[in-house]
Amino acid sequence: MSAQESARGAARVQEKVDAAILKHAHEAERLLVELVAVPSVNPLQPGVDTASYAGGESRANELLGDWLRGVGMETHLVEAEEGRANLVGVRRGTGGGRSLGINAHIDTVAPQQGRFSDPWKAQRVGNLLYGLGTTDMKAAHAAAWLAMKALDDAGVDLAGDLHIHSVVGEETMSHGIGTTAVLDAGFGVDAVLIPEPTSSDDDLFRLANTAAGNYLFSLTVRGKSTHWASRNLAIRAGGGGDAVGVNAIDKGFYIYTAMRQLEEQWAFSKRHPQFPPGAFIIHPGVLHADIGFAAAPYFPDRARFDYLLSFPPGETSEQIRREVEAHITAAAALDPWLAAHPVEFEWIDTWPPAYTDPSSDFARIALAARNDVVTALAAAPLDAPQPNGAQSDASFYEARGIPALVCGPGNLLVAHAADEYVNVDLVPAAARMIVRTALGWSGE
């Protein structure tokens, strides 16, 4: 076959699949409504009554499993934690092609009070479908199903396997029972597309190859309690100094200033070509200081700061932890009290950065697919993949050497918001992007 003939053949296949996507789009919307109706709230979210949402993720994945079997996929449940089953769908290739995974998390955040009383009863207003988990990210499941349905309908056999990884626990970064458990169970792929929204309504389908890492941590500074009126004796010449009392707020602000200094250094020392200068920050979010109860007539004997920091791809969470501790320890060494009473660190949670080479074959194929699809939506083509403002499971595929890109239907600005919605027209558009990526990557 000549190159021209094969290009014409590919265009014909795409046309057939596009027609099937159009034909079955209303069924994908029904799947989305049915998935929203299953409360698959992540039971470990802060402020959530864990017991009342037990098993919800599994029930949503069982429902999705029925739909995937209906389009010829074999399905497997991966249950690393009881009652929280991941679903894997596999569409077998004819052999010899590269496999492609579509990853979407089935868990949602907790419901919030919004304009509709029932967050699990999807409401259509114009072309917007409101409901908990519509944007984040059940529309992606509907789009992935629609892509598989259309390939099936059009009788397209790809050389590589196609996987759907519908995972639990993403909202609390519980990847060990979600995405990582699926990979551990033997469902590795050669590349993965995560159809999670990365952008907003006027900036659709921003294909993302990278995201900053982050770390949630706290530090506690100890003081020594005494009567407030002894402050002059504790801090002025002629008094007893630290032997009288040590105010943890004073010492805390010493450490706060040292952290600000490190953040200023980061504006120069932490760089990445895809991020603007100064993008990486050390954000103080909570400050708490007292003697165990709120009372001003005492020297507070503890001050705790909660921080969230972000750091560039190419550095590890472990390196960042060591750097912050070394900087604060060096600063503390200049203060006799802090030198003798070390700052206590608690490293709570980290999300590693994401990075897939933007000039790789996979990124090139996915970018072409994305640009082809958005022209119909009057969105601008992209020259290159972009950074993602949010974290995703991409990091955990990349940890296994699997290239991962993020781009999907929805609006990042309404994810985790009271009136979450998705523009239903984006579901077939995402299905077209998935199909084009699959045809380009996994071959016919």
Q: Which is nearer to Zn ion, 136 or 398 (CB)?
A: 136
- Under the binding rule (CB under 5 A), the answer on residue 137 touching Zn ion is yes
For residues 359 to 378, the per-residue mask of contacts with Zn ion, x marking binding by CB under 5 A and - elsewhere, is --------------------
Min dist CB 59 to Zn ion, Å, is: 19
- Segment interacting with Zn ion, rule: CB under 5 A, options 71-79, 137-145, 240-248, 351-359: 137-145
Give Cα 410 to chain centroid, integer Å. 14
Q: Which is nearer to Zn ion, 87 or 338 (CB)?
A: 87
Q: Which is nearer to Zn ion, 20 or 168 (CB)?
A: 168
Q: Which is nearer to Zn ion, 104 or 246 (CB)?
A: 104
Residue 67's closest CA among 124, 25, 27, 37?
A: 27
- Under the binding rule (CB under 5 A), the answer on residue 41 touching Zn ion is no
Q: Which of 18, 136, 250, 263 is the binder for Zn ion (CB under 5 A)?
A: 136
- Segment interacting with Zn ion, rule: CB under 5 A, options 34-42, 136-144, 342-350, 418-426: 136-144
Q: Calculate Rg over the CA atoms of the chain.
A: 26
Q: Which is nearer to Zn ion, 103 or 209 (CB)?
A: 103
The size of the interface with Zn ion (CB under 5 A), counted in residues, is 2
State how far the alpha carbon of 322 is from the alpha carbons of 134, 294, 352, 403, 423, in Å: 39, 33, 15, 28, 44
Task: Say if residues 198 and 388 touch (Cβ distance below 8 Å).
Answer: yes
Residue 381 Rama label (left phi>0; alpha psi -120 to 50; beta): beta
Task: Name 282's bridge partners.
Answer: 309
Collapse the DSSP code of 101 into the 3-class scheme (helix H, G, I; strand E, B; otherwise coil) and give the result: strand
Q: Which is nearer to Zn ion, 172 or 371 (CB)?
A: 172
- Under the binding rule (CB under 5 A), the answer on residue 250 touching Zn ion is no
- Segment interacting with Zn ion, rule: CB under 5 A, options 10-18, 122-130, 133-141, 281-289: 133-141
Kind and range of the H or E run holding 251: helix 248-269
What b/e readout covers 313-352, taking b as 16+ CB neighbours within 10 angstroms?
bebebeebbebbbeebeebbeeeebbeebebeeebeebbb
Q: Taking CB positions, which residue lies at the least distance from Zn ion?
A: 136
Residues that bind Zn ion (CB under 5 A): 136-137
